Each structure stands twice: as C-alpha cells, then as structure tokens.
Amino acid sequence: MKRATATFDFDDDAPLLAVEDAVVTYSTSGGDLTAVDGISFSVDENEIFGLVGESGCGKSTVAQAILSLLPSNGRVASGSVRFRGIELTELSKRELDALRWEHFSLISQGAMNALNPVHRISNQIVEAIQAHRDVTTDDARERAAELFEVVGLDPDRMDDYPHQFSGGMKQRAYIAMSLALDPDLIIADEPTTALDVIVQDQILKRLKQLRDELGISVIIISHDISVIAETCNRLGVMYSGKLMEYGDLKEIFADPYNPYTLGLQNAFPTLRGDQSDLISVPGSPPDIADLPDGCRFLDRCPFATAECETEHPPLETVGEDHASACYHHDSIERMREEAKNRETWERTGSDTVPTGGIGDD
C-alpha cells in the first residue's frame, strides 16, 4: 500500500489545536451559505473539549473542517485551523494524509455506518496502520488485537464483519481503530448518539481513561449537554454557526453567562431532578439562508432588547477561562433567576422557524 508520509516542523509552544476565526461556507444554487461564522477555540494536551449545540448549529461542520472532510461544496472560507502550529487549510492532500490518523483521528458514529460493511474489522484496522507505517500485516494484526483488548473487546472476534457486532461493540471497535497509531487528538463526532445510556456511559468512561492513561486529547461533539458535562474539561456552546459561550466547564456550569446556555441547561434532566422541571426553549434556530441582523438567538431569547437587534454580540471575557456573547452580562443575576421559570421562556414569540442545518446529520 502507498504510505502517506511527510515531515512537519511542529511548533511545540503552540496549542495542540487552534481554530481561529474560522468561517465555513457551502456553495449552493441559492448562493453561499455560512454554516460556521467566525469561530475560535483551542484545545490543549491532555484535555477533553466539548462542542455542544442543537442540530444544525454547525458543530459537525467544525469537525469536518478540522479533518478536511467537508463535502465538495463546502470550504473554509477564511480563518485558520492549526495543529501544533501547522496550518491545516493550506496543506496538500499528501501532507494532510500524513497527518490524518497518525496525529489526529476520528471517532464517528461507529454504531451506525462508520465501519465499512463489506470488510472485516481487522482488515480495516490493518489498513489504517499500513497506510502510515511500514509494517507487515502480521505485526499490524498483532497491534489490532492489542487495541481490541484496550477497548475491552475479545481479540478473537476481530475478523468479524461489522454487522456481527452490536452497536456498542462497533463503537468500541471504531475507537480501537482510531487509537491504532497513538494519535495526539481524537475528534469524536456524536460518539454515543445511537447507543443506550449504559453503553454510552461505558464509552465515555473509556474516553476519559484514554485521556488519563495515554494523554490523548479529545474533542467531543454532541447535542447532549449531559454527555459534555460528564466528560469534558472545557467546552464551547454553539448556536447557529456562532460560539455563544466558551471556556472552562466548571466555570460555565457554575456561572453560566449566556441566555442560550441557561436554556440548554433547563432542557436536560438531572438524575435527581423532577421530570416536570424540564423547560424547553420554544422555537428553533434561524434558517442559515436567512439569518437575522442582530443576535442569532434574538427570536428565542426572553431577555432580548432593542440593542440585541443591531448585530450579533462579540465574545466577552467574563471569567478566568470563560467568555460569553451577550449584551446583557451585567444583568446576569436577574436572567439566571428568571430563567428558572417556565413563564419566562413562554413569553418569547414562539413562532417556529425551520432549521437551517447543513452537513450536520
């Protein structure tokens, strides 16, 4: 097999992954649509970073942009994505292939169709290894068996086809494959979405274990704030292509500053909470083909004022490692208090706007 190799001049002082002001657009017959609109965040070594938001908010597009897996009509229109200082958007296909899987790999929704149904799982792992390393098939198979043990699967079953595995087993097998070359960073796009809660818990524990034992950093992309809460060190809350709140998980959960985060927190059950405590945010994200002039959350925000209609608020530092995009940070105490009441959320014009999700499925 043709191996993907290239030499890189990594900057050891740079963060593991730095996304700066990234804009991702899709060209469609109706003109360019902006799915991700000027997002910045960084991920350090040994850290699990979470991106959370409703479907259609552009979080999967961010993952695809990092891995250069955008559909053919999508591109990073401006901004930068740097891995250890290397600008990923300017690499040739060959250079990019040398970095992929070797330095950053992917965990897709393995429970679904992320493993090729017509190839044996072992062969799919061996292929990933041999695409980068000059090793014999026997050695690569030995490595695959080792990886199966790491993720808690029986190595005797590695020659099975994906359909012979249950959803949870497929997800583990996929994780085994993504660990094949000891990557520095794993991008996990909805890693537990199709799994039941027990398996979901096992998978998330495994990811934390990988961070602690192997020092791997992980980006988890999920619509489920409880998944993020359980695993991440830091997070970004996305809405309609923008980061609404960003920073340290504990800070954000203890003192949320953004009305959207307040709404998200309300909408998820806690183990001890009463079911009736759940309050949903009426309406849906704006159509990305027809974005409002002001704050993206304007139509659904119970605290919106005339100021919010001017333009989308910039991210403002509100804590040590904590930023939020809102014009009303000074009245946050009042907003937190009122957000606990169902009536607060019901006072927004709840006329439903169709979701404008693209590339986020």
- Burial track 318-332 (b if 16+ CB lie within 10 A, e otherwise): beeebbbbbbbeeeb
CB of 127 to other proteins, least distance (A): 7
The reply on whether position 184 binds other proteins by CB under 8 A is: no
The reply on whether position 161 binds other proteins by CB under 8 A is: yes
Q: What's the CA gap between 60 and 359, in Å, rounded?
A: 7
CB of 165 to other proteins, least distance (A): 12
Rule CB under 8 A: choose which of 47, 102, 184, 245 binds other proteins. Answer: 102
The reply on whether position 89 binds other proteins by CB under 8 A is: no
Task: Please enumerate in sequence order all residues whose Cβ is within 8 A of that of 91, keeping only pairs 6 or more positions apart, or say none.
Answer: 68, 99
Tell me the number of residues near other proteins by CB under 8 A. Answer: 36
Which amino acid makes up residue 198?
Answer: I
- 209 three-class SS: helix
The reply on whether position 127 binds other proteins by CB under 8 A is: yes
Tokens linked to 129? 């290894």
Stretch of 135-143, 157-165, 231-239, 267-275 contacting other proteins, by CB under 8 A: 157-165
Task: Please enumerate in sequence order all residues whose Cβ is within 8 A of that of 268, keeping only pairs 6 or more positions apart, or say none.
Answer: 224, 225, 226, 278
Rule CB under 8 A: choose which of 29, 93, 275, 276 binds other proteins. Answer: 93
Write down the residue that tokens 């020659």 correspond to. 159
Task: Please enumerate in sequence order all residues whose Cβ is within 8 A of that of 223, keeping only pairs 6 or more positions apart, or say none.
Answer: 52, 53, 54, 55, 59, 190, 193
Task: Between 6 and 254, name the residue whose CB sits nearer to other proteins.
Answer: 6
The reply on whether position 100 binds other proteins by CB under 8 A is: yes
Beta strands in the chain (DSSP E): 17-28, 31-43, 48-52, 74-83, 86-87, 104-107, 185-189, 217-222, 234-239, 242-248, 316-319, 322-324
Site for other proteins in 20-79 (CB under 8 A): 64, 67, 69, 72-73
CB of 202 to other proteins, least distance (A): 21
The reply on whether position 14 binds other proteins by CB under 8 A is: no
Rule CB under 8 A: choose which of 19, 39, 81, 115 binds other proteins. Answer: 115
The reply on whether position 137 binds other proteins by CB under 8 A is: no
Binding site for other proteins (CB under 8 A): 1-2, 4, 64, 67, 69, 72-73, 93, 96-102, 105-106, 108-109, 112-119, 127-128, 131-132, 161, 163-164, 174
